[in-house]
Amino acid sequence: MARLLLKNVTKTYGDVVAVRNMNLEVKDKEFMVMVGPSGCGKSSTLRMIAGLEVISSGEIYIGDRLINEIPPKDRKVGMVFQEYALYPHLTAKENIEFPLKVAGIPRRQREKEIMAAVDLAEFPKELLNRRPGELSGGERQRIALCRAIVKHAEIFLFDEPLSNLDAKLRNQVRNDIIKLQKRLEVTTLYVTHDQTEAMTMGDRVAVLSHGVLQQVGTPSELYDHPQNKHVAGFIGSPAMNFLEAKVIRKEGLWIDGKGFMLKIPEEFASSLKNYLDKEVIFGIRPEDVYLERAPIPSNEENSIPVTVEMVEPLGTETLVHLNTPEPGNQALVSLTSREAMGLNRGEKKKVTLDLTKMHTFEKDTEKAII
């Protein structure tokens, strides 16, 4: 197997820059997930690696091989597409066999390779003679997986492979892909717009926005230590709360949220002292905001008045949308269903914030301060 390395890779379509100066390493045997909203350059990156798009500038390596000029069929890359890319007139078996025939593999060897791939992907053998139109979305996805396996690829590329599946099947196939990758130990780059998929599947996650790589790290690193507001807001469900505020001094450093005040913990004061009297963006995750039963003492240094705006019951958890005293400043708190019972729109409450979990970002650059 081999690592995948992108050096200063850029892709332009006329005046539009789809990918800008990307530097990324996917380690040998690693499962890397690239995540970002639609149109951020994820699929363009994958297609450049596969050789389906020409690189505008930069270099791509698989192991020690520079592959910029190598034809797609010789790159030792197996790609699974969102739409499966199966030939509708061929059977499942013939679709799996196709890359082996193109490579000139003898028929007897092809049979062995197909059966080995089918066993690995747990595709039902009794369905091998059916055409794609006679199979479910999950079954078609497994054919695409088998076709990637038989190529003995050094790199697996997945382009949003689960987006056409229903929620239950998506979870099942997601687990199957993870198990298969660990069994085969193939270096894998998986693209999705779903941050839940990214956090549950990836050894590491690369976050993209507008063609620019924002941060690469383990799921816990991205969640606990986002490098900018985009990463902080994109990673985590429900998303982080952001409130406009200012750093002021009043017997220590405080966050002035225009209608509420929060005392900055001592461990963060040194990071924020250079932002005295400057506007910042204050961030805190919904699970660190408490309407009641806070695990920390509630006092005027860590609590703010709010008004209940909307209650969303989701089963075991309930999302409560809150308005802070400043018009336009909204927050979100995640509660258990029991805690949220009886809450009504317009109720006046106080929330307690665990400020040891607070985040702050520069207002202009949106880079993380803490």
Check pLDDT > 80 for residue 258.
no
**CA nearest to 161, candidates 73, 34, 71, 74:** 34
358 touches 283 (CB < 8 A): yes
Check pLDDT > 80 for residue 341.
no
For residues 272-288, give the mean pLDDT: 93
Residue 327's pLDDT is what?
62
Class of domain 4-234 as given by CATH: alpha beta
3-state secondary structure of 175: helix
**CA nearest to 48, candidates 268, 211, 182:** 211
Q: Which CATH number applies to 241-362?
A: 2.40.50.140
Prior bond to 238 cis, omega within 30?
Answer: yes
What are the extents of the domains in the chain? 4-234, 241-362
pLDDT, greater one: 175 or 164: 175
Least confidently predicted of 126-130, 261-265, 318-322? 318-322
Q: How far apart are CA 69 and CA 304, in angstroms?
A: 60
Q: How far apart are CA 120 and CA 117, in angstroms?
A: 5
**The model's pTM:** 0.89
CA 291 vs CA 170, 192, 247, 338, 352: distances in Å: 34, 34, 25, 12, 6
Which stretch of DSSP H or E encloses residue 338?
A: helix 337-340
The pLDDT tens digits for 170-185 are 888 888 889 889 988 9
